[in-house]
A and B are shown apart, each in its own frame.
Chain A
Amino acid sequence: MSTATTNGKKAAQVHRPSKVGQLATWVDDRTGIAGVAKKQVRKVFPDHWSFMLGEIALWSFVVLLLTGTFLTLWFKPSMGEVVYNGSYDQLRGVSMSEAYASALHLSFDVRGGLLMRQIHHWAAMLFIAAMFVHMMRIYFTGAFRKPRELNWVIGCLLLLLGSLEGFTGYSLPDDLLSGTGLRAAGGFILAIPVVGTYISFFLFGGEFPGDAIIPRLYTAHVLLIPAVLLALIGLHMLLLVYQKHTQYAGPGRTNDNVVGYPMMPVYAAKAGGFFFIVFGVSALMGGLMSINPVWRYGPYDPSQVTAGSQPDWYMGWPDGALRIMPGWETHAFGFTLSWNIFLPIIVLPGLMFTILLMLPFIENWITGDKRDHHLLQRPRNAPTRTATMVALMTFIGLLWAAGGNDIMAIKFNLNLNYITYFIRVMVFVGPVVAFLITRRWCISLQRADRDRLLHGYESGVIMRSPEGAYAEKHLPISTGETFALTSREHDDIPAMPSDADENGVANHKVWLTRLRVRLARFWYSGNIETPSREELEAARHHADDELAEQELAEYHDSHVQHDRHGIETGEVGKH
C-alpha cells in the first residue's frame, strides 16, 4: 500500500477469478474496458497538498450540483407577481415576484431549505476561489507548459464560466441585491457602443426589467452553463489522466516517470475522503454563517437601493475598476460614449481574461521552448514568470479592494474619497513595484539555494575560532535535497539574429525575432545558475576537509586543553 508505483506498462494480474471477476471478463471480452480500467487503476498520483487545490474546486462543484438540484424542486423562476403569505412576518402581504417568494419559501418554510441555499451559495464562493488558487499553483510551478497548454485554456474557460454561473445564480432570487446587480449588468451592456442597446433589448426581452430575464437566467443557470461546465471538467480530467500528473523534482522523480500512489485504492480513498471534507466545510459554513439573507434585502424594486450593494467576490474587481474610474464620457453625433463604464467593465475584464488565457503562449513564444515538461519548477526558479503573476494579482487585488471601498471606509473609519485616490494611483504603481520586488526576491532565493548546495545548511552551531571570531558551522545537505535543488533546466537563451543569414538572404521579420530575443534575455536575466558538478564536488571536498578539521579541533580541545597556544596557531575554524 505504501509502495510507490510508476505508470508501468503492464497491468496487475487478477489471480483468483471470482464471480465478479467472471462477469468482468465477460464485459471486458465485449467492450475491452479492462484495458482502460486497468490503466486507470494503475494510474499514479503524486502526493503534495498543492495538487489537491483543484480537487477543492471539483468537489465544491459536486456540492453545487447536489444542493442546486434540491433548490430546483422549490424555486420558481418566474417574475409573475404574487402576494407573500409565508412565515416571515416582516414581509407578509407585500407583493413580489414569484421567484423572490419562492426563495423566501425555501428559506423559511422548506425543511432544510435555508441550509441548502446557504450551502449552495458558500459552495459557489468556494468553487471559484478554489479554481483561483488551483490556477495560481499551476502557473507558479510552470505546470501549464507543453504538453499541458490545452488544459490551461480549459481551466481559464472554467473560471470564466464559473463566474458567469455564479452571477446568474446571484440574480435568480430577485431580491434587492439581485435586481440591483441585474440593473447594473443591463447598464454595462448598454455602455457597449452601437450594439449595446440591441443586446440589452434581446437579453431582457424588451426594457429592463421586463418579465423574461429570470426565466432565461434560470435556464442558463441550471441547464446550459452546468452542462458546459460538466463537459469541460470531464475533458480537463481526461487530459490530466492522459497526460499524467506533473510532479516536483526529487530523488527518483524525473521528466519520464510519475512517482506517487496508484489510483486504487490509496488515491481514490483519499480523494473520496477529501470530498467529504469539502462537503463538510461547506455544510458547516452553510449552517453557521449567514449568506445572502434575501429576506433582509426585500423584493427588488427599481426605486430602491441599499448601501453595501456589491457583487459576489469574483465579480468584485471589475466593480472596483468601475468605482475608481474617472467619469469620462464622449458626446458625438448625438450619441454618448460612456468610457467610464465601457472601459472598466467591458474592456478591462476582456483584456485580463485574454492575458490569462495567453500567458502560456506568451511565455512559450518568448523562451522558444519546445520541450515537454513533466517536472515542476519552483516559483523562484522562474523569477520573471513568478513576478508577472504577482503583478497581475496585485492589480486584481487592488481593484478588489476598490470594490469594497465603502465597507473599508466604514469599518476602518477612512475617507471614501481618499481610498479612491489612493487606489487610482496604486493600480499603476503597485503592480510594477510588486513585479520588481518579487523578481529580486526570487533571485535572492536562488542564490540562497546555491549557497546551500555549496556550503550546506546552517547547523545553528556557533564556533569560536582561537582568534575569537565567531562563525556558524555549515553541514552538507542530504543527497535527496541536492538532487532536488540541482534538477533545474539550464536556461536556453537564443542568440541575436543578424539582418541577413550566412547566404546573404535577408532575415524575414528580423525585428520581431530581435524583440523576442530581447525579451528572452530579460526573462532569464539575473538567474543564478546551479553549481556545476565540479563545483559541487569541490565543495564536498571542502566540507569533508572542514569536518576533519573540526574533529581535529575537538580532539585538541579535549586533549590539549592545558596548552591552548598549540591550537591558536592552527587553521581551526577558518572557512
Chain B
Amino acid sequence: MRLLTARLSTKRRSPIAGLVVVLLGLLLTGGGYALLSPASAQSGTASQSTVQQGRQLFLVGCSSCHGEHGEGIVTKRGTQYGPPLAGVGAAAVDFQVGTGRMPMARPGAQAQKKKVLYNDQEISALAAYVASLAPGPAIPDPSTYNTTNVDTQSIVRGGEFFRTNCTACHNFAAAGGALPGGKYAPSLHGVSNKHIYEALLTGPQQMPVFSDGVLQPSEKRDIIAYLNSVMANPDYGGAELGSAGPVSEGLFAWLIGIGACVGFAIWIASHSTRSTRSTRSRKGASA
C-alpha cells in the first residue's frame, strides 16, 4: 500500500499510472476489506483470531521492549526500553511498523526508518492487538486521505496550514530539520498519504498530536494534498541544493562561485606568465 501511494503522489500526471493505481487500489481495498476491515473498524471490535495473531507477533517481536502486555519496560536508570502502548491506537502501530520504525533496531535518540519487517496483514494484526489494549485512534479510512479530487483552493489552504503548523520543524520545503538532543523532524518526501495522516493523528515522538479538534480531517487532507502538489512541481529555480536554506546556498557560493572565479583568475594569470617569462629573460625588462 505504501509503495502504491508513493507512486500515486509522484506520477500523478501519468494517466496510465493513475489507472493502474485506481485498479490496484480497488482490488486491494475490495479484497483486503474482508481481511482487514475488522482491524480498522472504528468500533475497535476486531475479530478475536486477528487479535490473537497480533498478540503472538507482539510477544515475539515487541514484548522485549514494550512488555508482555504492552505495559512498557522501564530501565534501571528510569528511562524506557519501550513506552507503554495502551491507548496509542491502531494508527500508531500502523505508522510505526508501516514506516519501518518498529521494531526498533537499536536504542537511540529516535527510532530510525528502515525496511518494513511485517507484511500488511501482520501489521493489521499487530494494530488490532494494540488497539484491543485500550481505545485509541484507529487506522484512517482511505477516503480520508484520498487527495485525487482536491481542488486548488484546498491545496492553497493546505499550504497555509502547513506553514503555520509544520515548517518550524520540518522546514519550508519539508526537507527536514534538526531538533535538540540529537532528534530531528524527518524529510516528508516519499512518505505515503496514509502515513502522513497517521503521523498527524498519533504525533510520533517530539511531534505534537494534531487531533481532529486541532486540524479537522479535511484540513489534514488539504495538507497532504499541498505536499503532494508542491512535490510534483518542477524545480523552477534549478538544482535545489538540498532545500536547506541559506546555509547550503552560502556553501555553494564559495565552493562553486568563488572556486570557479579564482580558478579562471589563475588560468588567466598563468597564461601571461608564460609571456612574462620570455620578457624576463630579455635584458631591460624593467626599462
Task: Point out residues on A near B: beta carbons under 8 Å.
Answer: 2-6, 8, 47-53, 55-56, 89-94, 107-108, 114, 118, 122, 125-126, 129-130, 133, 176-177, 250-253, 257, 259, 261, 266, 270, 273-274, 277-278, 281-282, 285, 287-293, 295-298, 301, 303-314, 316, 403-407, 409-411, 414-418, 480
Contacts and interface: CB of A to CB of B under 8 A. Distances in A.
Contact of B269 (A49, A282, A293): A49
B230 A2 contact: no
A416 B180 contact: yes
B218 interface: no
Contacts of B240: 290, 293
A313 B170 CA distance: 22
B239 A307 contact: no
Chain B contact residues: helix, strand, loop or mixed: helix
A307 B169 contact: yes
A310 B280 CA distance: 51
A307 B275 contact: no
Interface of B: 109, 152-153, 155-156, 159-160, 163-164, 167-173, 175-182, 184-185, 226, 229-230, 233, 235-254, 256-258, 260-262, 264-266, 268-270, 272-273, 275-276, 278-280, 282, 285-287
A227 B176 CA distance: 41
Residue from A55, A118, A252, A316 having most chain B Cβ neighbours under 10 A:
A252
A4 to B, nearest CB: 5
B167 A90 contact: no
A409 B178 contact: yes
Contacts of B159: 90-91, 94, 298
Contacts of A8: 287
Contact of B172 (A126, A253, A281, A296): A296
Nearest to B260: A281
Contacts of A252: 280, 285-286
A134 to B, nearest CB: 11
Given A49-B265, A130-B261, 19 more contacts: A6-B287, A90-B159, A122-B253, A125-B249, A130-B258, A251-B280, A274-B268, A285-B257, A288-B239, A289-B252, A290-B238, A306-B163, A308-B171, A308-B244, A312-B249, A313-B253, A407-B247, A409-B182, A410-B184
B250 A125 contact: yes
B269 A52 contact: yes
A420 to B, nearest CB: 9
Nearest to A57: B261
B164 A307 contact: no
B277 to A, nearest CB: 10
Given A90-B159, A282-B257, A313-B254, A307 B178 contact: yes
A129 B258 contact: yes
Contacts of B262: 49, 53, 56, 133
Contacts of B238: 118, 287-290
15 contacts: A2-B279, A56-B258, A93-B152, A253-B286, A278-B261, A281-B264, A285-B257, A289-B237, A297-B172, A303-B164, A304-B167, A405-B178, A407-B245, A416-B181, A418-B182
Question: Which 8 A-B residue pairs are closest in the complex by CB-CB distance?
Answer: A307-B177, A313-B250, A290-B237, A308-B245, A125-B253, A415-B182, A409-B178, A49-B269
A221 B160 CA distance: 30
B236 A107 contact: yes
B160 A291 contact: no
B225 to A, nearest CB: 10
A288 B256 CA distance: 12
A267 to B, nearest CB: 9
B156 A93 contact: yes
B247 to A, nearest CB: 4
Contact of A47 (B171, B178, B185, B272): B272
A297 B249 CA distance: 15
Nearest to B233: A90
A2 B244 CA distance: 49
Contacts of A311: 246
A61 to B, nearest CB: 13
Contact of A48 (B177, B244, B269): B269
Contacts of A316: 246-247, 250
A83 to B, nearest CB: 11
Contacts of B243: 293, 296, 308
A536 B264 CA distance: 39
A403 B246 CA distance: 11
B264 A277 contact: yes
A47 B268 CA distance: 9
Contacts of B167: 176, 304-307
Contact of B268 (A270, A289, A305): A270
Nearest to A407: B247
Contact of A257 (B180, B226, B229, B286): B286
A411 B286 contact: no
Contact of B248 (A50, A89, A250, A407): A407
A314 B184 CA distance: 26
A348 to B, nearest CB: 19
A523 B32 CA distance: 81
A4 B283 CA distance: 11
Contacts of B175: 308
A282 to B, nearest CB: 7
A307 B171 contact: yes
Contacts of B176: 307, 410
Contacts of A277: 261, 264, 268
Nearest to A170: B246
A308 to B, nearest CB: 3
Contacts of B244: 308, 407, 411
B280 A480 contact: yes
